Chain A
């Protein structure tokens, strides 16, 4: 068997067509990759910006989470209790550096950071004259929550 008969017999035309298809398909895929390469390069060059954006998205998501009634908020309540006592002794309005010094003397650890946190949650508020006041209402609300949680826990634990 020779010539066209042999080609037909061994499916030469099919194989040639398949070969052409494979080559052209590969070329199309390659062209697509090359045409989109500038996007990958743009992402790579601006990776810092995208990391930041992703970080902001994650931190935004975290900040939308409700405040957990976990050890962190319990720490804040404990700090509120301690500092409200100190403020009661010092009187109002009080000096912020003096409050920090007194807290350190009484053995409260990380007094600076704790005061910063109490300012952030508006438990310590400035009087706009350089001195500060204790936000009794906010403190009472915070401690009330704590008492409610405590009562709830006791109720659940009761036989």
Chain B
């Protein structure tokens, strides 16, 4: 599958409403990450250093009690624990297929929120929307 370009990334629900000036602040923070089938992206209990946005691939968020949710929509967010205290992942995330994600460092993201609160609020609202559209099982990572 072809990797999405900057314009396609801008069209993801998280970034769609950003003004060009705001987008120019966010885009440099995005790093592309490739994963392979069965790779564990996030371990429960680890320090939450980054969150991820799915570009392609199928991922499973799973908990100790055996419950799980699968995500494969472009723009779905994984690892939001990196932007909320206590900055610790609350679930495991495993790639069901090969895939590609955008990775944003939690610290850089929080710094951006502090320097531009309007942009921060916009992004956090979108993250909140994305999290709440999922089935409520455990504390979704």
- Residues of A whose CB lies within 8 Å of any CB of B are 48-49, 51-52, 55, 95-98, 110-113, 115-116, 119-120, 126, 128-132
B68 near A95 with CB under 8 A, answer yes
Residues in chain B near residue A119, CB distance under 8 A:
58, 70, 96
A97 to B70, CA, bound (A): 11
Known contacts A116-B58, A130-B68; decide if A48 and B5 are in contact (CB<8 Å). yes
Query: Which stretch (B59-67, B81-89, B118-126) binds chain A?
Result: B59-67
B138 near A130 with CB under 8 A, answer yes
Nearest chain B CB to A87 CB, angstrom units: 14
A139 to B65, CA, bound (A): 27
17 additional A-B pairs beyond A96-B70, A129-B137, beta carbons within 8 Å, are A51-B2, A52-B5, A95-B67, A96-B62, A97-B94, A98-B66, A113-B96, A116-B97, A119-B96, A128-B135, A130-B63, A130-B65, A130-B66, A130-B69, A130-B137, A131-B68, A132-B68
The 0/1 profile, CB within 8 Å of A marked 1, for residues 67-83 of chain B is: 11110100000000000
Interface size of B by CB at 8 A reads 25
Which of A55, A111, A131 is in CB contact (< 8 Å) with B67?
A: A131
A98 to B65, CA, bound (A): 10
A96 near B60 with CB under 8 A, answer yes
A sample of 20 cross-chain residue pairs with beta-carbon separation below 8 angstroms, ordered by A number, consists of A95-B68, A96-B68, A97-B66, A97-B92, A98-B66, A112-B38, A112-B96, A112-B97, A113-B96, A116-B70, A116-B96, A119-B70, A120-B72, A126-B70, A126-B135, A129-B67, A130-B65, A130-B66, A130-B69, A131-B68
Residues in chain A near residue B94, CB distance under 8 A:
97, 112
Which of A49, A112, A129 is in CB contact (< 8 Å) with B37?
A: A112
B66 near A131 with CB under 8 A, answer yes
Known contacts A115-B96, A130-B137; decide if A97 and B68 are in contact (CB<8 Å). yes
B135 near A129 with CB under 8 A, answer yes
Known contacts A48-B5, A96-B60, A96-B62; decide if A113 and B97 are in contact (CB<8 Å). yes
Nearest chain A CB to B89 CB, angstrom units: 16
B135 near A95 with CB under 8 A, answer no
A110 near B58 with CB under 8 A, answer no
Residues in chain A near residue B2, CB distance under 8 A:
51-52, 55
A126 near B69 with CB under 8 A, answer yes
A72 to B137, CA, bound (A): 34
